[in-house]
Amino acid sequence: MKQTSRELFKDATSGKKTNRPPVWLMRQAGRFLPEYRELKKTHTFTQIVQTPDLAVEATLQPIRRFDFDCAIIFSDILVVAEALGFEYEFKDTGGIRLLKTVSNEKDVIELTARVNDVCQHLQYVKEALQILRNELPHKAIYGFCGAPWTLACYLVQGENIQGFPKLLQLQQSNPVLFEKMMNALTQASINYANMQLQTQIDAFQVFDSHAGLTSLNSYNELSGKWIAKIVEEIKGKAVSVVFANEMSGRLAEATKTNADFYSLDATKKLSEVRNQYNIGLQGNLPPEILSNSTAQQTALRTKEIIDDMKDFGRHIFNLAHGIKPDAKLENVEAMCQTIRGY
Ligand code: CP3
């Protein structure tokens, strides 16, 4: 009988030999899909996220079209900020804005007071994951949250601007307050992760999209040590994956979080990393290829990555970062065909 995607994922992540890596794409549900743009004509992003049937629908769209091996629940890292009392909205000019930010002791006290209510606010995510498990018994399902550091970038800055300078300013001017805030965000993330782990997910990914903002040798102190606490909760219950963006050159620091898998950017060949570190690897096709290349070029670059990793195993095929809204459908199709036909 043909192996299911879920079985393939289990084999690949536990180090068994497989014919090909399992595949999914970060941000696979979203604006590059015509059916997602259609859904957005009648519902806002927040409505989709907060309504379990709609969140499941958005999650299933890329699976229906491309038959990916893994589904990631349609949500956002910022739902935790919202559950802590810091709501977000979309700017007319694109990007995100928080209605209020964290800047002083009072804000951190307010945030800390809500840590144990997070799951109550986020029941809709649990419900969506339960429906999804029923819909997709044979696919691997990912839950996720933001890394406390990356979440703090948004909470303190209030919007996504280059460099998020206010967080580093806060950490340097008031390290005690920084520590208190990070503790609260970590505990909220642990509560949230545990709620998701109750729903038979196969993997849990922590998105540290702004890991690269930490200066050399400060990653562990600013971000890694908090992620390590979340990873510890996931161990043995689901495959733990950390997207440590822009950290390929600093893996000695990043791997201290002790995750099972690291999702890497495109600055290093995966086999080079594997020769040096005995870790599972997710990645790392540059998303620009899907937007700017031809189907044939996409197929070639895809094959290069699988060739490079085929003797190593413990590889999950993915992009180096999230798929872009202008990605071409025929390129995603060429990538999938190359992987499946390998
Ligand atoms: O991967 C998936 O398909 C699951 C869904 C998912 C979304 N956001 C949906 C989304 C996931 C895993 C995320 C994670 C996320 N959210 C991250 C980490 C990953 C990364 O890309 O670095 C970050 C930093 C965020 C915060 C966030 N969400 C920003 C800054 C924005 C606005 C910028 C943008 O991309 O428009 C969002 C909005 C968002 N989250 C959209 C989607 C599909 C776009 C909303 C829309 O217009 O439909």
Q: What is the pLDDT of residue 273?
A: 96
Sign of CA dihedral 4, 131, 184, 163: positive
Residue 175 three-state SS: helix
pLDDT in tens, 187-210: 999 999 999 999 999 999 999 999
Q: What is the pLDDT of residue 190?
A: 98
Q: How many CB atoms lie within 10 A of CB 45?
A: 16
Domains of the chain: 1-21+264-342 (no CATH), 29-67 (no CATH), 73-256 (3.20.20.210)
Q: Which residues line ligand 1 (CB under 6 A)?
A: 26-31, 40, 45, 72, 74-78, 95-96, 144, 160, 207, 209, 322
Average pLDDT over residues 9-21: 96
pLDDT in tens, 67-118: 999 999 999 999 999 999 999 999 888 899 999 999 999 999 999 999 999 9
Q: Which atom of ligand 1 is found nearest the CA of 245?
A: 22
Average pLDDT over residues 305-322: 96
pLDDT greater than 80 at residue 279: yes
Q: Which atom of ligand 1 is found nearest the CA of 27?
A: 1
> How far is residue 122's CA from residue 33's CA, in Å, rounded to a whole number?
26
Q: What percent of the chain is modeled with pLDDT above 70?
A: 100
Average confidence score pLDDT of the chain: 97
Residue 267 three-state SS: coil
Q: Give me ligand 1 centre to Cα 27, in Å.
A: 7
Phi-psi region of 314 (alpha: psi -120 to 50; beta: other; left: phi over 0): left
- Residue 211 has what DSSP assignment? G
